Structures are given as C-alpha cells and as structure tokens.
C-alpha cells in the first residue's frame, strides 16, 4: 500500500478546526514543508497529493530548483481545481461572470479548439489550464493521477455526468496520466459507475474509524470494496478523521480494508509526525 | 460514543431510509454557487429530484442544458410557473431579487419554497413574504441553525441558563470574500451585516429571545456599504451582546461564526467547528468529527448545508413549517433594520 503526504496543513486547512489550520500556517515556511516531505519519504512515503493552489506551485518550483532528487523520487496525485479560490471568485464577481471568464479565457488561449465543440471540451481545457504549470515542473512519468476536486466530483455524481468523466479520463489517458474523482460520497459514486458501466482509474475518499466525512460509514465501506473489486485504485484520505483519531486507531481500522486500498494519504505540518505516521502505516499496513 | 444526531430538528431526519423514499420535483431559481450547491445536495439525497432550473444568464442556460440532460432550463420564471408542476422551489438568486422572485412563486401557490439567506433586503419584505407563505412550507437558509455544534449549544444553554445567569455574550462572523468590486449587495446599500451578520442575529435570537439594538457602527472599506459592522445589543434578560461582522479578514478563507457566552460559573464557546464548555471546574471539548460520525448521509460543503436540506424535505413531506420559516426570520430582519437605522460610520 502506498503512503502519500497530503497538502491540507500546507494550505492552512483543517477539517478539525479552522483556527488550528490558521495557526499552523503562520509557522509553516517552504523549508519546513520540505522537511515534512523529506521525513515522510525517508520512512517510505512514495508520493505527494496536492491541489493546484499557488503555494504548492511555489513549493514544487523550490523542489525543482533545490531538491531535484526528492522531486524525481516522489509520485504525484493532483487534485484540480483548487476549489476555494473559485468559490471566493464567485463571491466577488458572481458565478455567471466567473463562467464567462473561464470560457472566454480558454477561447483566447485555444481559439480553434473551442469553436462549436461540446461543453466537455471546455471542461477538459479548464482542468488542463489549471494543471499546466504543474505539469511543466513535475517529471511526467511521476504524475500518476489527476483527481477532480470534490466540489466538482459531487456535481458529477449528483447529476450523473458520466460523459464528463469519460472525456476527462480519455484526455488524461492520452497524456499517460490516470484520472479519478475525489469524493465524500463513495456509495453514490459506486452506484453511478455500476449503473453507467463507466470506470475510473482512481477514487480518493475519506476512510477513518469515526466515519467522519464518509456519509453512512457501512455503505461507504461496501462501496470502497466494490470499487476496488472493479479495478479502481482507492486512495484513503482523512484517515485520522481530521485529527480526532490517533494513528494507531486509524491503522487498526484500515487493516480491515488492506486488500481494497491502493494508497493512504495523511497531512501534517510536523516533520517528526510525518516520520512517525509513515513508519506506523508502513509497519501495520505493509507487513506481510 | 455519543450520538449527536439526537439534536436534529425531527427524528425523521435520522432515518436513512427516508432519503431513499418517494421522489420530489424541485426547481432551482438562480444557478450560481448556492443554486448548484443545493441542487447537488438534493439530487444526492433524491435521485433526479432537480427537474428545472431558471436563470436569466444565457451562458448558464446553454452550458447547463448541454451538460445536465435531465434538467429543463428556463429563462423566465413565469413560463415555468404557468407550465409545470413543481413541489419545491429554491430561490438562490442574488439577494436583491429574493423578494420579487419569492413573491412571484408564492403568489402562484407554491407548495414549498426555500429562500437562501438573507431572505430579503429588509423586514418589511420578509413580513410580506411570510404573509403570503402562510399555507406553504417555507424555509430560509439560515444554515448555522442546522450545525450540530450550534444546536448542541442551544440545548446546553436551555438547560444551564437558569442555574448560571449570563453576564455577557460576544459573537462574530468573519470572512475574507469581499474584495473590490464587492457589488453583490450594492443595489440595496447594505453589506456584511445583512449578508453574514444575519447568521449571528438568528442564532442569538434563537438562544436568548428578543434583542434590542443599543449602539452600532460600521466601516466601509471597498464601497459605500458596511464591510465591517460592530454593534451592542441587549436581551430581555438584561445582559449585553456584542457582535462583529467582517468580510475583510483575509485570514478567513471561508465564513466563520463564533459565539462566546460568559455567565456566573459558566463559559461556553461555540463555533462552526467546536464547542467548549467550562463549568464547575470541568471542561467539555468537542470538535466537528465528534458530531458528524457516519452522518449526514451525503456530503457536500459543510454538513449543516445537508442537514438544512434534509429538514426542508422532511417538512415538505409532512407539510409542516421548518424551524427557520419566514415568520421567524421577520424578527431577525427587524433587528437588522434597527441596527442599520442607528449605525454610525467609524
């Protein structure tokens, strides 16, 4: 099972308490973030999962310039877009203007590609535009997956937009990158994939002993098993229930699903915790 | 582990089978951020419930119709009202148009109507809508009432207020959304107090009963309306309530609300994320994951958004008034009007 470092603490995001996230961010320099990634990698973490926030671009640029070995060593699972930025933009300018800006922006950059094409292509271009700068920095072979952020994934699931999924998957397959959805509604997603006959390369979804952000826990667990049974690589996120569970409680829980989980992701702002958590996850989830 | 779903408005909302029940026909008026949010939650709870979307923007209608094949897009509300049967309308247009849109829907005899907060620009409009909505299942999206942290605080305060008289309350709501040009409420000339302060005023009314404006001040940073609003209010029990609404705080990536209650031998701090109660030398410290264990049944944004939609659908099924109906919101809007009337620039 792969172990990935998540970026939430790097962005000041805490699903436990927002004040805690803000406090963390105050003391988090780029060097400190590097220490976290290095500590986890030394203990066997193999990847970094992050959203397309400008501070992550800054971090990856720093890695390219000063920590090339680590950049080459890690695998990358990218969440796109960084949703909060767009939510804030809708607050300022309104959703209609934001959509217009996205469409017009893409039109300017890709005039020939947008004339008379279906909206799926606009979505592909929107996603691709968000990723472009990251893909220029990262070693292409190490970019394992692009995952649609939950804000869009849940819309896809709720409105059964399987064609969007198909087109995006096709787009990234051509680039040699896996495609998936990040969702807090795994049970609904599993049902949709079963009904439509579509598939995904990856699904990233919360898995923790409390069932926090999992919907109805038992249903979500069954869905995870079903997804993995169909060859979808399941990445368990929020494994510590945003800090309400210990790593020991988490591994005891995750052990039950060992055969269904492809990777686990956890976030921390502390190098010593990155080291300890990776060691514990490796010991309990990867021993024969 | 304690099951905090007992704090939900009705026991029906705790029954997962309910959400797989009968279908409901929903129309969303205004397909911006909030319209998409509610439509997604409703569709996750009840498959294909969203049948219609009304939006004046042609680009949204065109793109929406191409993507959402099972949804019919309309440019004019009156066309939908005259041609289709709908069980519930969600009014998620920009605030200045809540009143005319909701009025048109209610006058057409709608069964159910959900109006995003703030329900109207002022109390007069809210009262007119409440009058029209007497026979309808009408709800205002005062979301924080459906947050389990704030609901828990309500339960604790109801039990503790007699033993521990309150001496002072401080409350704030903060966000960093408003950057120039912050014109979303421009037409009404009101800003952060109406848009975000409405959450606080609603919660404070719910916790402590009537509130009376004592003094108020505001600061305009980006335009002419209030971007920071500070006020002192008084309850019928005689203790002061200090509030602050501010959408210029860049450290808050999403809106945050917090209420601190200080009483004799009591300190209660409740926010979107946590509840901390200090009483008789003991501390109770609870965070979001403790409240939302294997609940709610679907997830999008914060759990309180899902719970408010669950409550609305429950009330629609039972033909009863939701907790945050227009009638209750009128008093909240009156307090907001009073505060705007006495407010001076800082």
pLDDT digit string, tens, across residues A142-151: 999 999 999 9
Rounded mean pLDDT, B307-324: 93
Mention every residue, 6+ apart, whose C-beta is less than 8 A from residue B139: B112, B113, B114, B115, B308, B311, B312, B315, B322, B324, B325
Residue of B101, B8, B92 whose CA lies nearest to B50? B92
Cα angle A127, A133, A138; round to 5:
105
Q: If you ran DSSP here, which 8-state letter would residue A214 be given?
A: S
Of A197, A178, A155, the closest CA to residue A235 belongs to: A178
CB-neighbour burial class of residue A108 (10 A; exposed 0-12, middle 13-18, buried 19+): exposed
What pLDDT does residue B3 have?
87
Name the residue in chain A with its Cα closest to that of B37.
A155
Instruction: Give B170: exposed, middle or buried? Use CB within 10 Å, 0-12, 13-18, 19+.
Output: middle
Report whether pLDDT(B316) > 60: yes
Residue A59 has pLDDT above 70, yes or no: yes
Judged by phi (left if over 0) then psi (alpha if -120 to 50, else beta), residue A275 lies in alpha
How much is the mean pLDDT over chain A?
A: 89
Q: For residue B9, what pLDDT band results from cuts at 50, 70 and 90?
A: confident
Interchain proximity A17–B179, CB inside 8 Å: no
**Which 8-state DSSP code applies to residue B295?**
-
Say what the pLDDT of residue B119 is.
98
Which residue of chain B is at minimal alpha-carbon distance from A22? Answer: B251
A-to-B residue pairs, Cβ atoms closer than 8 angstroms: 136
- Would you say domain B4-142 falls under CATH 3.40.50.620? no
User: How many angstroms separate the CA of residue B173 from the nearest CA in chain A?
Assistant: 13
Interfacial B residues in 294-323 facing A (CB < 8 Å): 294-300
Say which residue the tokens 């009963």 belong to. Answer: B209
Please, which pLDDT band fits residue B222 given cuts at 50, 70 and 90?
confident
Is residue A104 less than 8 Å (CB to CB) from chain B?
no
- Closest-CA residue of A relative to B195 is A91
For B51, the 3-state DSSP assignment is strand
B4-142 and B145-294+326-345: identical CATH topology: no
State the smallest CA–CA distance between residue A163 and chain B in angstroms. Answer: 9
Best of B47, B289, B302, B304 to disrupt the A interface by mutation (most A CBs within 10 Å)? Answer: B289
Helix (H, G, I), strand (E, B) or coil at A261: strand
Tell me how crowded residue B223 is: count the other CB atoms within 10 A of its CB. 16
pTM of the model: 0.93
Contact A161 B68 (CB under 8 A): yes
Work out the average pLDDT over B250-254.
81
State the fold for domain A2-285. TIM Barrel (3.20.20)
CB B185 within 8 A of CB B117: no
Helix (H) or strand (E) holding B298: none
In this predicted model, what pLDDT tens digit does every residue of B132-180 receive, in sequence order?
999 999 999 999 999 999 999 999 999 998 889 999 999 999 998 655 4
Which residue in chain A has the smallest CA separation from B35? A95
Q: Which residue of A215, A218, A241 is in closest CB contact with B299?
A: A215
**Model confidence at A40: pLDDT above 90:** yes
Q: What tens digit of pLDDT does each residue of A154-194 get? A: 999 999 999 999 999 999 999 999 999 999 999 999 999 99
Q: Say yes or no for a CB contact (<8 Å) between A96 and B297.
A: no
State the complex-level ipTM.
0.93
Contact call for B177 and A216, based on CB within 8 A: no
Q: A94-98, A211-215, B297-301: which has the minimum mean pLDDT?
A: A94-98
Tell if the CB–CB gap between A242 and B288 is shorter than 8 Å.
Answer: yes
Extents of the domains making up chain B: 4-142, 145-294+326-345
How does residue A17 score in pLDDT terms, banded at 50, 70 and 90? low
Going A59 to A61 to A65 to A71, the CA torsion angle's sign is positive
Confidence of residue A93 (pLDDT cuts 50, 70, 90): low
Using a CB-CB cut-off of 8 Å, the residues of chain B touching A15 are: 288-289
pLDDT at residue B181, rounded to an integer: 45
- CATH architecture of the domain B145-294+326-345 equals 2-Layer Sandwich (3.30)
């Amino acid at each position: 099972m792969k172990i990935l470092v998540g970026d939430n603490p790097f962005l000041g995001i805490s699903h436990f308490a927002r004040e805690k996230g803000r406090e963390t961010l105050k003391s988090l320099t780029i060097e400190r973030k590097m220490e976290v990634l290095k500590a986890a990698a030394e203990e066997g973490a193999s990847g970094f999962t992050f959203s397309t926030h400008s501070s992550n671009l800054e971090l990856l640029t720093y890695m390219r310039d000063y920590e090339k070995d680590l950049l080459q060593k890690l695998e990358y699972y990218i969440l796109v877009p960084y949703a909060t930025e767009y939510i804030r933009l809708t607050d300022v300018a309104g959703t209609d203007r934001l959509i217009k800006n996205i469409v017009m922006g893409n039109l300017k950059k890709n005039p020939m590609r947008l004339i008379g094409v279906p909206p799926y292509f606009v979505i592909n271009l929107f996603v691709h535009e968000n990723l472009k700068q990251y893909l220029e920095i990262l070693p292409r072979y190490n970019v394992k997956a692009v995952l649609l952020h939950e804000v869009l994934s849940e819309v896809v699931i709720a409105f059964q937009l399987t064609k969007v999924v198909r087109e995006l998957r096709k787009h990234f397959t051509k680039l040699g990158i896996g495609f998936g959805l990040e969702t807090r509604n795994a049970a609904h997603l599993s049902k949709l994939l079963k009904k439509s006959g579509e598939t995904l390369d990856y699904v990233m979804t919360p898995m923790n002993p409390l069932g926090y952000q999992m919907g109805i826990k038992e249903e979500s667990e069954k869905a995870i098993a079903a997804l993995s049974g169909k060859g979808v690589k399941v990445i368990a996120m929020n494994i510590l229930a945003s800090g309400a569970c210990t790593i020991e409680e988490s591994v005891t829980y995750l052990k039950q699903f060992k055969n269904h989980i492809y990777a686990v992701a956890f976030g921390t702002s502390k190098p010593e915790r990155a080291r300890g958590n990776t060691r514990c996850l490796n010991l309990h989830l990867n021993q024969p | 582990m304690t099951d905090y779903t007992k704090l939900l408005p009705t026991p029906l909302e705790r029954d997962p089978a309910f959400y797989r029940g009968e279908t409901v026909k929903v129309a969303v008026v205004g397909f911006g951020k909030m319209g998409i949010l509610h439509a997604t939650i409703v569709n996750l709870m009840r498959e294909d419930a969203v049948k219609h979307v009304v939006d004046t923007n042609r680009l949204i209608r065109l793109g929406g119709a191409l993507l959402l094949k099972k949804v019919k897009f309309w440019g004019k509300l009156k066309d939908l009202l005259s041609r289709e049967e709908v069980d519930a309308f969600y009014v998620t247009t920009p605030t200045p148009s809540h009143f005319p849109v909701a009025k048109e829907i209610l006058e057409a005899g709608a069964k159910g109507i959900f109006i995003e907060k703030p329900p109207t620009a002022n109390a007069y409009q809210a009262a007119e809508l409440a009058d029209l909505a007497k026979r309808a299942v009408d709800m205002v999206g005062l979301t924080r009432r459906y947050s389990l942290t704030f609901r828990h605080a309500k339960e604790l305060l109801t039990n503790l207020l007699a033993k521990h008289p309150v001496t002072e309350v401080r409350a704030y709501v903060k966000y960093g959304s408003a950057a120039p040009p912050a014109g979303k409420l421009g037409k009404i000339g009101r800003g952060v107090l109406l848009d975000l302060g409405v959450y606080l005023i609603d919660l404070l009314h719910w916790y402590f009963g009537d509130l009376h404006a004592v003094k108020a001040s505001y600061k305009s940073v980006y335009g002419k309306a209030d971007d920071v609003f500070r006020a002192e209010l008084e309850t019928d029990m005689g203790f002061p309530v200090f509030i602050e609404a501010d959408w210029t705080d860049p450290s808050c990536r999403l809106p945050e609300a917090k209420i601190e209650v200080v009483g004799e031998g009591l300190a209660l701090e409740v926010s979107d994320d946590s509840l901390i109660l200090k009483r008789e030398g003991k501390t109770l410290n609870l965070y979001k994951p403790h409240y939302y264990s294997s609940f709610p049944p679907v997830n999008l944004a914060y759990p309180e958004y899902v719970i408010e939609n669950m409550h609305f659908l429950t009330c629609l099924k039972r033909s009863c008034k939701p907790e945050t109906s227009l009638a209750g919101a009128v008093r909240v809007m009156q307090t907001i009007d009073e505060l705007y009337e006495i407010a001076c620039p800082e």
